[in-house]
């Protein structure tokens, strides 16, 4: 690849970024349903990391929310499976996950799920990538 090709490629990229961002962040996020499995007295969310990646949240933060609400213990393994050391119904997990989305992901101004969570010590802020609004939330 010569210099000219690289230059053209960069121009192309710039054009892409100039024209895309606003459109991109207003698209609806497709969040898969929780893939829940009960193994003995334990409960697993098998696609936990995948879902956290889609909603742009650290799995550890999301896990902490679940464990705190359930007053349970648990862990995330290397393949992204979240195991709760307790038997929890799918209904309860889905309700909790919905609450997490409403509280820690959804923009309270425009309703978009395209947001990031900014943490500065004890100050947590949801920043919306669609409308730019920033709303403080209670740390988990």
CB 91 within 8 A of CB 33: no
Site for Zn ion in 100-129 (CB under 5 A): 107, 109-110, 112, 128
Residues near 27 by beta carbon (within 8 Å), at least 6 away in sequence: 114
Q: Least Å distance between CB 11 and Zn ion?
A: 31
* Nearer CB in complex with Zn ion: 83/115: 115
Q: Least Å distance between CB 23 and Zn ion?
A: 15
Pick from 61, 59, 60, 51: which is nearest to 30 by CA? 51
* Nearer CB in complex with Zn ion: 62/128: 128
Examine residue 131 and tell whether it contacts Zn ion (CB under 5 A). Answer: yes
Tokens of 37: 């499995």
Query: How many residues contact Zn ion, by CB under 5 A?
Result: 8
Site for Zn ion in 52-91 (CB under 5 A): none
Q: Least Å distance between CB 116 and Zn ion?
A: 11
Instruction: Report residue 114: phi and psi, to 5°.
Output: -85, 80
Pick from 140, 134, 127: which is nearest to 56 by CA? 127
Q: Which residues bind Zn ion (CB under 5 A)?
A: 107, 109-110, 112, 128, 130-131, 133
């Amino acid at each position: 690849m010569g210099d000219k090709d690289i230059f053209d490629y960069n121009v192309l990229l710039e054009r892409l970024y100039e024209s895309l961002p606003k459109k991109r962040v207003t698209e609806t996020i497709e969040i898969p349903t929780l893939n829940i499995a009960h193994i003995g007295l334990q409960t697993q969310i098998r696609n936990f990391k995948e879902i956290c990646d889609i909603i742009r949240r650290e799995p550890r933060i999301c896990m902490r929310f679940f464990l705190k609400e359930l007053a349970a213990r648990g862990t995330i393994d290397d393949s992204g499976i979240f195991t709760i050391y307790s038997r929890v119904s799918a209904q309860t997990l889905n309700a909790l996950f919905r609450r997490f989305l409403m509280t820690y992901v959804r923009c309270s101004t425009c309703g978009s799920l395209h947001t990031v969570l900014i943490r500065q010590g004890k100050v947590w802020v949801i920043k919306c990538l669609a409308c730019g609004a920033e709303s403080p939330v209670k740390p988990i």
